[in-house]
Amino acid sequence: MPFYQQLLIVCPLVFLAGFIDSIAGGGGLISLPAYYMAGLPPHFALGTNKLSSSIGLIFSTGTYLREGYVYKPLIPISIAGALIGSWLGARSILLLDEQVLRWIMVIVIPVIALLIIFKKDILSPEKREFSQTREQMTGAVIALSIGWYDGFFGPGAGTFLMLAFVGILKLDAVTACGNTKVVNFCSNVAAMVVFMMAGTVNYALALSGALFAVLGNILGARLTVKNGAKLIKPVMLVVVLILMITIIRDIL
């Protein structure tokens, strides 16, 4: 496929992926298929997607940090937990059948979708009453668990991380989004380095796509900071529904 045709496929979809990912996570559900559609083999699609999405994440993460929507005491433990969990998940896939988790998700995801639709305060947490030690221990468990899911299966991990930060740790929706971006950025960079060392990155397409990923991430992050949960909730529902369709398609 000519390069200009690849750009026509990748750039608008990567922009949309960056926009959605900066608000509610799950952008990879759009950007990775875009690289497949552009004719890249699976490993090159994964590596190219990681590079462009990591560059985009720099800008959305920077927006949340600059605006003060990152709860910093959770950052070190969340990053460590996510990286360890992701490694354990990647190891687990050698021992367990991924298809079992797909069937579990077919049950779990509709429940999450219904909660997002009908639970009006799902992104409006109660007053936080955690000691910092308990908060960090809980954050470590959340990051480890969802990091394991990310390493084992992956799709929607950022969305689940954000829901856990709000529902369990009682962060406000925008701060939960900011913390999720920091963790996602670090895990993405780790994976990106692996793909770059393996030589499975199409740099011309990745860097072209990265420009649109940056634009999408900046726009999404700024709108989230301005509108908060009013914007996050409907976009999160879209991500969950895309994830559901993706899993059912893969099972069938």
Instruction: Output the pLDDT for position 93.
Output: 66
pTM of the model: 0.86
Instruction: Output the pLDDT for position 199.
Output: 92
User: b/e for 174-201, b at 16 or more Cβ within 10 A?
Assistant: bbbbbbbbbbbbbbbebbbeebeeeebb
Question: Residue 207: pLDDT band by 50, 70, 90 thresholds?
Answer: very high
Instruction: Output the pLDDT for position 156.
Output: 81
Q: Give the residue with greater pLDDT, 19 vs 167.
A: 19
Instruction: Output the pLDDT for position 8.
Output: 94
Question: Residue 65: pLDDT band by 50, 70, 90 thresholds?
Answer: very high
Percent of the chain with pLDDT over 70: 95
Question: What number is the average pLDDT over the span 196-213?
Answer: 94
Instruction: Output the pLDDT for position 122.
Output: 67
In the predicted structure, residue 161 carries a pLDDT above the cut 80 = yes
Closest CA to 133 of 70, 77, 71: 77
Q: What is the pLDDT of residues 15-56, one digit of tens each?
A: 999 999 999 888 888 998 999 999 999 889 988 998 999 999
Q: What is the pLDDT of residues 226-248, one digit of tens each?
A: 988 888 989 988 998 998 888 88
| Cβ(150)–Cβ(82) below 8 Å | yes
* Every domain of the chain and the residues it spans: 3-251
CA–CA distance from 235 to each of 29, 94, 119, 223 (Å)?
Answer: 13, 34, 15, 12
Burial label, 10 (beta-carbon count in 10 A; 0-12, 13-18, 19+): buried
Instruction: Output the pLDDT for position 128.
Output: 64
Q: What is the pLDDT of residues 71-120, one digit of tens each?
A: 999 999 999 998 898 888 877 766 777 677 778 888 888 888 887 777 77
Instruction: Output the pLDDT for position 149.
Output: 84
Q: Which residues, other chains included, contact 91 with Cβ-Cβ below 8 Å and sequence gap of 6+?
A: 151
Instruction: Output the pLDDT for position 62.
Output: 93
- Residue-averaged pLDDT of the chain: 87
Question: DSSP readout, the chain?
Answer: --HHHHHHHHHHHHHHHHHHHHHHS-THHHHHHHHHHTT--HHHHHHHHHHHHHHHHHHHHHHHHHTT---GGGHHHHHHHHHHHHHHHHHHTTTS-HHHHHHHHHHHHHHHHHHHHH-TTTTSPPPP---HHHHHHHHHHHHHHHHHHHHHT-TTHHHHHHHHHHHTT---HHHHHHHHHHHHHHHHHHHHHHHHHHT---HHHHHHHHHHHHHHHHHHHHHHHHHTHHHHHHHHHHHHHHHHHHHHHHH-
